Chain A
Amino acid sequence: MSATVAAVEEIDLAGVGLRELNSRLHELATTGEPRHWRVRNPGGEHAIAAGLDADIEIDIDGHVGYYCAGMNKRATVRIHGMCGVGVAENMMSGTVIVDGNASAAAGATGRGGLLVVRGDAAGRCGISMKGIDIVVGGSVGHMSAFMAQRGRLVVCGDAGDGLGDSLYEARLYVRGEVAGLGADCVEKEMRPEHEAELGELLARAGIGPLDGFRRFGSARALYNFHRDNAAAY
């Protein structure tokens, strides 16, 4: 027994089934081993690698369904394909990387960690984000960062209509066109500290360096209800 190279645990999801895979991954919260996993034939199944709490790496070879890597803690999940609704939804920490496009609500309600979508993300990307960082190599769809509270959303392409509607303290960076800003979302000055955090996020995402971003944030006019603003809600 002289092998010292960590083996990659390979799982064929078409043979093993989702519950078996996720049960084994959940056991890693206590065992922590093996640390490298590869999932083949994901077949668009929902909730693949959801609820992880371990310092592990998973490569998924193919397209996945809804809520992939949802609630992730600590793990690095690489999806070599596209993903359905709610990838990395409510992520706490760790890293989730999507090579292809993401469907709606990518990174929704996420509290920490980094989500990278190399392609486009559809509508409601980062909706209600609460501390997650999201870097999208392409464009995001309508109503992205709706009610976003904390964290950073970086969009290297265009943003759809209603960006940052009813935004709190999340910071949004967009390089391309913005179809329209949502209620209480305004463009803000790019100061050196913003350039610095943007550069750091792009570097962590393995994108760029790129320049020409604009920053958007909350005008903070709708934090507390005021009768004069009733029409804006």
Chain B
Amino acid sequence: MCGIVGLFSKSPDTGAKLGHHLGAMLTQMAERGPDSAGVAIYRDAVAPGQTKLCLHSDDPHQHWGALCDELRDALGCEGEPEVRVSHALIVVDSDAETAERWLRDTHPELRAMSAGESIEIYKEKGDPAEFVVRFGLDELAGSHALGHTRMATESRVTTEHSHPFSPGLDLCLVHNGSLSNHNELRRELRREGIRFGTDNDTEVAAGYLTWRLAAGATIEEALDGCLSALDGFYTFAVGTRDGFAVLRDPFACKPAVLAETDEWVAMASEFRAIAALPGAADATVWEPAPAEIYSWRRERALVA
């Protein structure tokens, strides 16, 4: 069992309180996944030529300011790091590939949780309700966000095994379920140049999406490919720079509910997570059909 939630803002009011709403949804799903929690939030897009990195350190005394100084000399780096518990947000003046290569070579002890134009991923093992408070989700505004509470069934309980997974730029995946052909698929994707940090099954599905998107597929086409490439049970919620999408496997034995109002679109494992949102009582609420792709996208002009 795991809990997943997603929220896509259709109004400035919802966007301004996106982190607050996401935190309320995640807290409702704490019982479904008490092992760890994580969120991906899309906000504050950086300028062209820059990359937003969300880095994680196991060292509680990590000196993020010093790292920023190093980055400033190596690649160029804007402003100061924005530190949240074990994570820090850093904007560098380079493309993501260069920045991530520098990081691997210079600071292999650090982990890039996400990289891209607007994505930020925060995740950590431990109680989801505490996570929401410690990471100060309340104060984050943004366009859309996903969250996950994990009850591990398939690989170890660590921060790096937690969701969301983001092997590609501005892409992330949260998953309720389990995949059975992930080892084989991971080997194939590694040959295609996709990097994996863990032995987790969900990371492979995220890697598959990354690979398909890099080859020019739309998110809908990449998700459609999951139906034949993946063997297992899943309710997926996927975030991209401009939107989010939901897919359930053909058996649809992992729960999912969708709801929409004029203000927002929301998905969750259970309705009680959506009940935390303003206007939920009057929302259109339905269960997504198996093997059907539901997606919402925002026009680029509205992102800024």
- Write the residues of chain A forming the contact surface with B, with a CB cutoff of 8 angstroms: 43-46, 62-66, 81-82, 84-85, 100-101, 103-104, 120, 122-123, 141-142, 160
CB-CB contacts below 8 Å: B272-296 with A? 272-275, 280-281, 285-287, 289-290
B243 within 8 Å of A by Cβ?
Answer: no
Quick check: A65 and B290 within 8 Å, CB to CB? no
In the bound assembly, the distance between CA atoms of A120 and B257 in angstroms comes to 13
In the bound assembly, the distance between CA atoms of A43 and B274 in angstroms comes to 9
Quick check: A101 and B287 within 8 Å, CB to CB? yes
In the bound assembly, the distance between CA atoms of A84 and B274 in angstroms comes to 12
B252 within 8 Å of A by Cβ?
Answer: yes
Quick check: B255 and A45 within 8 Å, CB to CB? no
B270 within 8 Å of A by Cβ?
Answer: yes
Contacting residues, chain A, for B287 (C-beta < 8 A) = 101, 103-104, 122, 141
Given known A-B contacts A103-B257, A123-B290, A65 and B270 have beta carbons under 8 A apart: yes
In the bound assembly, the distance between CA atoms of A173 and B257 in angstroms comes to 27
Nearest CB in chain B: distance from A158 CB, A: 11
Query: Chain B: which residue is nearest A120 at the CB level?
Result: B286
Query: Chain B: which residue is nearest A62 at the CB level?
Result: B281
B264 within 8 Å of A by Cβ?
Answer: no
**The one of A65, A104, A123 that contacts B271, using a Cβ cutoff of 8 Å:** A65
Quick check: B290 and A101 within 8 Å, CB to CB? no
Quick check: A82 and B285 within 8 Å, CB to CB? yes
Given known A-B contacts A66-B270, A104-B287, A44 and B275 have beta carbons under 8 A apart: yes
**The one of A43, A63, A104, A120 that contacts B252, using a Cβ cutoff of 8 Å:** A104
In the bound assembly, the distance between CA atoms of A100 and B287 in angstroms comes to 11
In the bound assembly, the distance between CA atoms of A85 and B270 in angstroms comes to 9
Query: Chain A: which residue is nearest B286 at the CB level?
Result: A101
Query: Chain A: which residue is nearest B273 at the CB level?
Result: A44
Contacting residues, chain A, for B270 (C-beta < 8 A) = 44, 46, 65-66, 84
Contacting residues, chain B, for A122 (C-beta < 8 A) = 252, 287, 289
Nearest CB in chain A: distance from B5 CB, A: 13
Query: Chain A: which residue is nearest B281 at the CB level?
Result: A62
Nearest CB in chain A: distance from B4 CB, A: 15
In the bound assembly, the distance between CA atoms of A122 and B250 in angstroms comes to 13
Quick check: A101 and B281 within 8 Å, CB to CB? no
- Given contact pairs A45-B272, A63-B285, A104-B287, enumerate 19 new A-B contacts (beta carbons under 8 Å): A44-B272, A44-B273, A44-B275, A46-B272, A63-B271, A63-B275, A66-B270, A81-B285, A82-B271, A82-B285, A84-B257, A84-B270, A84-B271, A104-B255, A122-B289, A141-B289, A141-B290, A142-B252, A160-B289
Nearest CB in chain B: distance from A144 CB, A: 12
Contacting residues, chain A, for B281 (C-beta < 8 A) = 62-63, 81
Most chain B CB within 10 A, of A62, A85, A122, is at A122
In the bound assembly, the distance between CA atoms of A88 and B270 in angstroms comes to 17
Quick check: A43 and B272 within 8 Å, CB to CB? yes
In the bound assembly, the distance between CA atoms of A184 and B274 in angstroms comes to 40
User: Can you list the 7 inter-chain pairs with the closest CB atoms, starting with the nearest?
Assistant: A44-B272, A44-B271, A122-B287, A44-B275, A43-B275, A82-B285, A103-B287
Query: Chain B: which residue is nearest A122 at the CB level?
Result: B287
11 contacts between A and B (CB under 8 A): A44-B272, A44-B273, A44-B274, A45-B272, A63-B280, A63-B285, A84-B271, A104-B287, A122-B289, A141-B252, A141-B289
Contacting residues, chain B, for A85 (C-beta < 8 A) = 255
Quick check: B272 and A101 within 8 Å, CB to CB? no
In the bound assembly, the distance between CA atoms of A62 and B290 in angstroms comes to 25
Quick check: B290 and A142 within 8 Å, CB to CB? yes
Nearest CB in chain B: distance from A82 CB, A: 4
CB-CB contacts below 8 Å: B258-276 with A? 270-275
Nearest CB in chain B: distance from A65 CB, A: 5
